[in-house]
Amino acid sequence: MSTLPTKRRRWFPGAVAGLIFGGGIAAALGWAAYSALFVRHNRNLPPAIDAERRSFASRGTGVLSYYVDRHAEGRPLVLIHSINAAASAYEMRPIFNDFRSVRPVYALDLPGFGFSDRANRVYTPSLYVEAITALLTTQIREAGPVDVVALSLGAEFAALTAAAHPELIRSLALISPTGLDQRVRTGGSDGFYRALSFPVWSQPLYDLLVTPASLRFFLQLSFEGPVDPGLLAYAEITSHRPGARHAPLYFISGKLFTPQIGEVYRTLQTPTLVLYDRDNFTGFSALPGLLAANPAWRAARITPTKGLPHFEKMEEVSEALDGFWSTL
């Protein structure tokens, strides 16, 4: 039985709650001050890939950047990275380096990431489809449709592009694609996005997501073994650039996911290969039904991996891709 007087017993829980709330407010204000005064938001960004980097202006998407190696001849290979708090073309670096000696390779920085325009604008799936389309129609010198390899949420944008412009893309290879977990999608929340992007705390909130400890934690969820040190180092740098928070906040609020992507996958006639295993950020429960319903799709499991098989099992990924392309 409590020995506190009745009035003190009534006052004590409220006082504790007040202290906790006040402490939380103080911590948040302290982090906001630290973010404004001590976090560098204009770090020097090196190239993600040791290759020629080009930029071009697209009317609908702003300035877009991509890496290219055209020394080899053949059908072009186009690489599309994922979307996350610190995404960039570095995510596709192992594939770029593996194939650059045998065919022309292009790796795009999507709008809001890498060296591409990071303006404070509305980011939507259609914006990313427009960016991929602009690359394919204005920058690819080689004749004929291309092969595309896309990662995670980038796979949705690649599939949407193929559905809208089937003449531009011969095949898709989707690595750990989102949209195959059978979850009901809503297309995100405007209210949630407005809350995340409120000017007072949007930058401190984003800075909290891209601390070295946070980046390592989330990247570790995508590796079976140790995190690739180059990917981690580049993620930290690219997430500390002017405007780096704008596109990721749309992603976090769910506004970059396409609610009807399942139907797009089911009706897509472009030959498509899914490379997958386990993934802590998405699932593949709909894949068996999709493979049964759409003969244009096939799949290869790269084990053991957790979302980034090309960083840990590039030889197996390369064999799967070559085997797929040889059948087309």
29-41 confidence digits (pLDDT tens): 565 665 665 577 8
Rounded to whole angstroms, the Cα distance separating 156 from 264 reads: 9
Q: What is the mean pLDDT of the chain?
A: 91
Estimate to the nearest angstrom the gap between the alpha carbon of 91 and the chain centroid: 9
Residue 183: pLDDT over 80: no
Looking at the domain assignment, is residue 263 inside a domain? yes
The pTM of this model reads 0.90
User: Does pLDDT of 118 surpass 90?
Assistant: yes
Pairing of β 77-80 and β 62-69 = unpaired
Q: Could you tell me the pLDDT band of residue 71, with boundaries at 50, 70 and 90?
A: very high
Q: DSSP string spanning 169-238?
A: EEEEEEES-SS-S--------HHHHHHHT-TTTHHHHHHHHTSHHHHHHHHHTT-SSSPPHHHHHHHHHH
For residue 242, being part of any structural domain is answered with yes
Distances (CA, A) of 160 to 5, 111, 215, 268: 67, 16, 29, 9
pLDDT for residue 136 is more than 90: yes
Residue 234: pLDDT band with limits 50, 70, 90: very high
Report d(CA 292, CA 295) in Å as an integer. Answer: 7
Number of structural domains the chain divides into: 1
In a domain, 36, yes or no: no
Other CB atoms within 10 A of residue 9 CB: 11
The residue-averaged pLDDT of 160-185 equals 93
pLDDT number for residue 203: 92
The arithmetic mean of pLDDT across residues 60-84, rounded, is 97
Helices 153-164 and 125-138 cross at an angle (nearest 10°) of 60
Domain containing 222 equals 52-326
Is 226 within 8 Å of 311 (Cβ atoms)? Answer: no
Residue 14 has pLDDT above 80, yes or no: no
Q: Name the more confident of 183 and 278.
A: 278
At 21, the pLDDT band (50, 70, 90 cuts) reads very low
**pLDDT of amino acid 26:** 58
Burial class of residue 328 in the structure, from the number of CB atoms within 10 Å of its CB (0-12 exposed, 13-18 middle, 19+ buried): exposed
**Would you list the DSSP string of 65-124?**
EEEEE-SS-SS-EEEE---STT--GGGGHHHHHHHTTTS-EEEEE-TTSTTS---SS---
What pLDDT score does 32 carry? 61
Can you give the pLDDT at residue 3? Answer: 52
Helix axis angle for 6-38 and 202-209, nearest 10°, is 80
> Do residues 83 and 153 touch, judged by C-beta distance below 8 A?
yes
What pLDDT was estimated at residue 253? 94
pLDDT over 70 (residue 11): no
**What would the mean pLDDT of 218-243 be, rounded to a whole number?**
98
Say if CB 168 and CB 270 are below 8 A apart.
no
- What CATH number is given to the structural domain containing 105? 3.40.50.1820
DSSP-derived pairing of the beta strands 62-69 and 105-109: antiparallel
37 falls within a domain? no
Q: What mean pLDDT comes out for the span 145-162? A: 98
Position 110 in a domain: yes
Query: Is 17 contained in some domain?
Result: no
On whether residue 39 sits in a domain, the answer given is no
pLDDT band at 168; cut points 50, 70, 90: very high
Min mean pLDDT across 9-18, 71-80, 274-283, 305-314 is at 9-18
User: Quick one: pLDDT band at residue 17, thresholds 50, 70, 90?
Assistant: very low
Q: Which letter does DSSP use for residue 161 in this model?
A: H
pLDDT digits (tens, 9 = 90+) for 267-315: 999 999 999 999 999 999 999 999 999 999 999 999 999 999 999 999 9
With respect to residue 47, please indicate whether it lies within any of the assigned structural domains: no
Q: Residue 19 and residue 191: Cα distance in Å, rounded?
A: 29
pLDDT computed for residue 41 by the predictor: 82
The Cα 284–Cα 181 span in angstroms is 5
**Strand ranges across the sheet with 146-151:** 52-58, 62-69, 105-109, 77-80, 146-151, 169-175, 272-276, 297-301
- Of 35-49, 212-226, 291-305, least confident by mean pLDDT is 35-49
